[in-house]
Every structure is written in structure tokens, then in C-alpha cells.
Amino acid sequence: MSKKLVAYFSASGVTANAAKTLAEAAEADIYEIKPQVPYTKEDLNWMNKNSRSSIEMKDKAFRPAIVDKNADIELYDVIFIGFPIWWYVAPTIINTFLENYDFSGKKIVLFATSGGSGFGNTIKELKNSVSETATINEWKILNGTPSVNQLRMWLNNLEV
């Protein structure tokens, strides 16, 4: 049986709730990807072209600093990584997280929360942030409140 980790970034708490339920369903450890400077409501206003999130997402090379780098990735075979979809992709803080660890030989499974869009170009935007021997797969958009049992059913079909 593989050892699993659910790592997540949540700006407003929605993705955190999904991650906690997923960790329970997958019998996985959990790790929060925390920005060094927390996002405010104003930072997340995608309608404002000068908001922090808008500025970060315009620059694909931007890497927001994270609080720590002690997720012990080497202990896990499968890493679920969750985030809210921003501008049809993962926020650049996910690149920061991926670039701070060695994911060689790891299976990365993406899940997200979204107000309406899918994963878009997320894998393409994240692929250069990990080793060539890591695999990245899209899994689910976890909107609403899927139950532990529902997530277990979905996980059974995932083959992790």
C-alpha cells in the first residue's frame, strides 16, 4: 500500500475543507501550503487588475514565498495537491511548492476547487516545476461538499 499525502493551498478555506475530507477518505497525511504573506480579500479580487493575485498570475515566473519547506515529501509515494483554480490554472504558489522538493518517481494527483472553470492548462504550467520522473495527473474538481464515502468511491477508481 502506498503512503499518501494531501498537500493543499487554500486562500479562503474552501480548498482546506475539501483537502481535510480527502485526507480522511484516502487515509493520508495532510500538509498546508502556507504563503509567507497571507492573502487578504482585496488580494483575491480577480476583478481588480492591480490586486495581488492578478499581478502574480500575469507573471508565470512569479513564485510567492511559502512559510516552510518541511513537508517530508520523500516519505510518500502519492501526493495529492489541491488548490483553487485561478485564471484557469493552479496559483503560482503551487509552482513554489513543487520547486522546493524532489518529486522524482512520485505520483502527483491534482484536485481543485473552482467557481466554474476546469483545470485548463494546469499540468502544462506545473510540469516544468517537477522532475521528469514525476507523474502529474488531473483528478477532480471538488466543489460542494463531497462526503468521505463519495471520495472513497472515487479514490477506488483512481488506482493509487
What is the widest separation between alpha-carbon atoms in the chain?
A: 47
* 3-class DSSP state of 6: strand
Domain count, the chain: 1
Task: Report the half-sphere exposure of 46 (CA within 13 A, side-chain side).
Answer: 9
pLDDT, one tens digit per residue, over 100-138 is 999 999 999 999 999 888 999 999 999 999 999 999 999
Sheet strands (E) in the chain: 4-8, 29-32, 78-84, 107-113, 135-141
- pLDDT (average), residues 88-105: 96
Query: What pLDDT, on a 0 to 100 scale, did the predictor assign at position 144?
Result: 82
User: Which residue segment(s) compose the domain that 103 sits in?
Assistant: 4-156
Q: What CATH number corresponds to the domain at position 79?
A: 3.40.50.360
Query: What pLDDT, on a 0 to 100 scale, did the predictor assign at position 1?
Result: 53
pLDDT, one tens digit per residue, over 54-70 is 999 999 899 999 999 99
Give yes or no for a contact between 4 and 79, defined as CB atoms under 8 angstroms apart: yes
- pLDDT (average), residues 49-57: 92
Rounded Cα distance, 30 and 5, in Å:
6
- pLDDT (average), residues 39-45: 93
Rounded Cα distance, 74 and 96, in Å:
17
